[in-house]
């Protein structure tokens, strides 16, 4: 999907994760041939790039036998479509033990549920809307996978669960100088398109509020913002996610004292256990910004 498809003004809320993923990835990875070991008991299909990133962080990416075109870190697994556009034949060929999904607002497609019941597969829903969801997902994904692993692999995975928990806490630790700073995190599409802003109760704004910043946008969920909205909000800091977009639309805000922080961290657009390193780098950048004169 090209950036020209991401005209945020009309995007329904359930489509936001798809928009984020398309903005995070330049192009899908090519499909790879299925694993030839059809007898292996532990087989995972992930229909969520955020879940896939979490599996990679947990060190069990070799169990993935099916993925979305937008998943990274598991290129040896074949693409089997997306949750809203599954390739049933490809999933049948993958013959998974578990299917992880990130349910949209309208719920898991009935066709996938029916197919899983017919084949005896387990469908595991993982919510990734909030920062708390991302933290919980690490534990829930590990718990679902634990019965598929031998004792040594389970121990190693549980150690990684603890490490990721610590990493989340460190990456979102309070920044003293952030107090009273109003922050806005936005994603750019086309130059003439509205911005997609992270409102309250989204995973990225949860993380920024945990660091001590105040939300400049006090509406929940993902919001479309035009130029007039930016001027009305007057944030102290704007985090600009995306690549290559001009900052010209922020010139008036910058003249008034707003700082624009451009961030090249595609992993931040795939909520889950794979965002800790990017969050940590974002925190370090924000520490620099609020401590600079």
Indicate if the pLDDT at residue 189 is higher than 90. Answer: no
CATH superfamily of the 31-171 domain:
Nitrogenase molybdenum iron protein domain (3.40.50.1980)
Indicate if the pLDDT at residue 19 is higher than 80. Answer: no
pLDDT tens-digit profile of 159-184? Answer: 999 999 999 999 999 999 999 899 99
pLDDT tens-digit profile of 20-56? Answer: 554 444 444 433 433 334 334 789 999 999 999 999 9
Q: Which residue has the tokens 């006090």?
A: 218
Indicate if the pLDDT at residue 65 is higher than 90. Answer: yes
- Burial bucket for residue 7 (CB in 10 Å: 0-12, 13-18, 19+): middle
Q: What mean pLDDT do residues 272-289 have?
A: 97
* CATH architecture, domain defined by 176-291: 3-Layer(aba) Sandwich (3.40)
The reported pLDDT for the residue numbered 6 is: 33
- The DSSP code for 30 is P
Q: Which residue has the tokens 């989340």?
A: 168
The reported pLDDT for the residue numbered 171 is: 98
Strands 81-82 and 85-86: antiparallel
**For the chain, which residues make up each domain, given as ranges?**
31-171, 176-291
Note the Cα 121 to chain centre separation in Å.
25
pLDDT, mean over the chain: 86
The reported pLDDT for the residue numbered 9 is: 33
- The DSSP code for 110 is H
Cβ count within 10 A of residue 128: 23
- What stretches of the chain adopt beta strand conformation (E)? 44-46, 64-66, 81-82, 85-86, 98-101, 122-125, 182-187, 195-198, 214-215, 222-225, 237-241, 259-263
pLDDT tens-digit profile of 71-114? Answer: 999 989 999 999 989 999 999 999 999 999 999 888 999 999 99
Cβ count within 10 A of residue 257: 8
The reported pLDDT for the residue numbered 121 is: 95
Indicate if the pLDDT at residue 249 is higher than 60. Answer: yes
The reported pLDDT for the residue numbered 270 is: 95
Indicate if the pLDDT at residue 1 is higher than 90. Answer: no
pLDDT tens-digit profile of 221-232? Answer: 999 999 899 999
Question: CA–CA separation, 15 vs 105, rounded Å?
Answer: 9
The reported pLDDT for the residue numbered 179 is: 92
pLDDT tens-digit profile of 116-163? Answer: 999 999 999 999 999 999 999 999 999 999 999 999 999 999 999 999
The reported pLDDT for the residue numbered 42 is: 82
Q: What mean pLDDT do residues 261-281 have?
A: 95
31-171 and 176-291 have identical folds: yes
């Amino acid at each position: 999907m090209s950036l020209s498809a991401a005209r945020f003004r009309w995007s329904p809320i359930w489509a936001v994760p798809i928009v984020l993923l398309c903005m995070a990835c330049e192009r899908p990875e090519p499909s790879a041939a299925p694993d030839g070991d059809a007898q292996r008991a532990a087989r995972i299909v992930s229909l969520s790039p955020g879940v896939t990133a979490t599996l990679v962080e947990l060190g069990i990416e070799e169990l993935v036998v099916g993925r979305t075109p937008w998943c990274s870190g598991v290129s040896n697994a074949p693409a089997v479509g997306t949750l809203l556009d599954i390739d049933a034949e490809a999933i049948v060929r993958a013959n998974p033990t578990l299917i992880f999904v990130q349910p949209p607002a309208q719920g898991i497609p009935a066709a996938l549920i029916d197919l899983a019941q017919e084949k005896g597969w387990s469908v595991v829903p993982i919510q990734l809307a909030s920062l708390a969801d991302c933290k919980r997902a690490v534990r829930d994904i590990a718990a679902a996978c634990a019965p598929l692993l031998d004792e040594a692999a389970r121990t190693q995975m549980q150690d990684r669960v603890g490490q990721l928990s610590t990493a989340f806490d460190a990456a979102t630790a309070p920044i003293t100088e952030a107090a009273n700073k109003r922050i806005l995190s936005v994603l750019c599409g086309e130059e003439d398109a509205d911005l997609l802003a992270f409102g309250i109760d989204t995973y990225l704004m949860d993380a920024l509020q945990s660091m001590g910043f105040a939300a400049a946008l006090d509406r929940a969920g993902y919001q479309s913002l035009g130029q007039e909205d930016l001027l009305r909000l007057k944030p102290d800091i704007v985090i600009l996610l995306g690549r290559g977009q001009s900052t010209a639309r922020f010139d008036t805000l910058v003249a008034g004292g707003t700082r624009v922080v451009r961030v090249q961290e595609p992993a931040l657009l795939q909520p889950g256990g794979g965002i800790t390193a990017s969050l940590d780098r974002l925190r370090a950048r924000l520490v620099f910004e609020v401590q600079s004169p």
